[in-house]
């Protein structure tokens, strides 16, 4: 499995290429397993992060500020990691999509 930096950004060239494609054109997109891993693991990480936010709420209701704080920090870390993976997936699509035909 390919690791993706939490700070993964979409390359400006990929964004420029993507915005140059006609909005109504069918596209051909070739993805690697690593690209799909980024999508699937990004979505999974977001779901785990939501669970951490729920844990933070429970800790807050139970008046446990230490655990609440820790859960919020974990949720933030997971959110950043998911964002990096989803950016990796979006960047692969933007960089590789070509008009069909």
Q: What is the pLDDT of residues 8-28, one digit of tens each?
A: 789 999 999 999 999 999 999
With respect to residue 85, please indicate whether it lies within any of the assigned structural domains: yes
Strand ranges (E), 2-69: 27-28
The C-alpha atoms of residue 14 and residue 8 are separated, in whole angstroms, by 13
Q: Is residue 9 one of the residues assigned to a domain?
A: no
Indicate whether 38 belongs to any domain.
yes
* pTM as predicted: 0.82
What are 24-53's pLDDT values in tens digits? 999 999 999 999 999 999 999 999 999 999
Q: Is residue 87 part of a domain?
A: yes
Burial of 100 (0-12, 13-18, 19+ CB in 10 A): exposed
Decide if 93 contacts 31 (C-beta within 8 A): yes
Count of beta carbons in the 10 Å neighbourhood of residue 101: 6
Whole-number percent of the chain with pLDDT over 70: 93
User: What is the domain range of residue 78?
Assistant: 30-95
Mean pLDDT of the chain: 92
Q: What average pLDDT does this structure show over 71-97?
A: 96
- Provide the domain count of the chain: 1
With respect to residue 76, please indicate whether it lies within any of the assigned structural domains: yes
Q: Is residue 15 part of a domain?
A: no
DSSP 8-state symbol, 99: E
Whether 6 shows a pLDDT value over 90: the answer reads no
């Amino acid at each position: 499995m390919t690791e993706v930096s939490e700070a993964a950004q979409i390359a400006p060239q990929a964004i420029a290429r993507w915005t140059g494609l006609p909005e109504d054109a069918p596209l051909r997109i070739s993805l690697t397993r690593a690209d799909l891993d980024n999508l699937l693991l990004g979505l999974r990480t977001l779901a785990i992060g939501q669970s951490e936010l729920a844990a933070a709420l429970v800790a807050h209701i139970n008046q446990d500020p230490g655990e609440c704080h820790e859960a919020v920090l974990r949720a933030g870390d997971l959110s950043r990691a998911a964002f990096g993976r989803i950016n990796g997936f979006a960047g692969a699509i933007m960089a590789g999509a070509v008009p069909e035909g």
